[in-house]
Amino acid sequence: MFEGFETAQIEVGEASVFVRYGGEGPPVVLLHGHPRTSATWHRVAPLLVAAGHTVVCPDLRGYGRSRGPAFTADHAGYSKRAVAADVVAVLRRLGHERFALVGHDRGGAVALRLTLDHPRAVTRVAFADALPVSEHLSRITAEFATRWWHWFFFAQPDVPERVITADPDSWYRGDPEVMGAENHAEWRRATRDPDVVRAMLEDYRAGLTVDRRHEEADRAAGTRITCPTLVLWSLQDDLEELYGDPRVIWRRWADDVRGHGIDAGHHVAELAPGELAAAIGGFLQGPAGAPVT
Q: What is the pLDDT of residues 61-89, one digit of tens each?
A: 999 999 999 999 999 999 999 999 999 99
Determine the angle formed by the axes of helices 181-191 and 194-206, rounding to 10 degrees: 80
Measured CA to CA, the distance from residue 30 to residue 42 in angstroms comes to: 11
Averaged over 17-29, what is the pLDDT?
A: 98
Alpha helix positions (H), 14-79: 45-50
Q: Residue 287: which pLDDT band, with cuts at 50, 70 and 90?
A: low
The tens digit of pLDDT for each residue in 198-241 reads: 999 999 999 999 999 999 999 999 999 999 999 999 999 999 99
Catalytic residues: 105, 266
Distance CA 283, CA 232 (A): 11
Residue 286 is predicted with a pLDDT of 67
Q: What is the mean pLDDT of residues 126-146?
A: 95
The Cα-based distances of 120 to 111, 176, 212, 229, 281 in angstroms read: 13, 39, 23, 15, 21
Cβ atoms within 10 Å, residue 285:
11
The band of 244, judged by pLDDT with boundaries at 50, 70 and 90, is: very high
Is the confidence at residue 3, as pLDDT, over 90? yes
Q: Please determine, for residue 111, whether its predicted confidence score (pLDDT) is greater than 50.
A: yes
What gap in Å lies between CA 290 and CA 122, rounded to an integer? 18
**Whole-structure pTM value:** 0.96
Cα of 212 vs its chain's centroid, Å? 16
What domains are defined for the chain? 6-285 (3.40.50.1820)
Q: What per-residue confidence (pLDDT) applies to 36?
A: 98
Mean pLDDT over 246-273 rounds to 98
Question: What does the mean pLDDT of the chain come to?
Answer: 95
Q: Is the pLDDT of residue 191 over 50?
A: yes
- Cβ-Cβ contacts under 8 Å for 156 (sequence gap 6 or more): none
Predicted pLDDT at 275:
98
Q: Is the pLDDT at 290 greater than 50, yes or no? A: no
Residue 34's pLDDT band, with cuts at 50, 70 and 90, is very high
| Among the listed residues 206, 188, 163, the one whose alpha carbon sits nearest the alpha carbon of residue 71 | 206
Beta strands in the chain (DSSP E): 6-12, 15-22, 27-31, 54-58, 99-104, 122-128, 229-234, 257-262
The per-residue pLDDT for 128 is 98
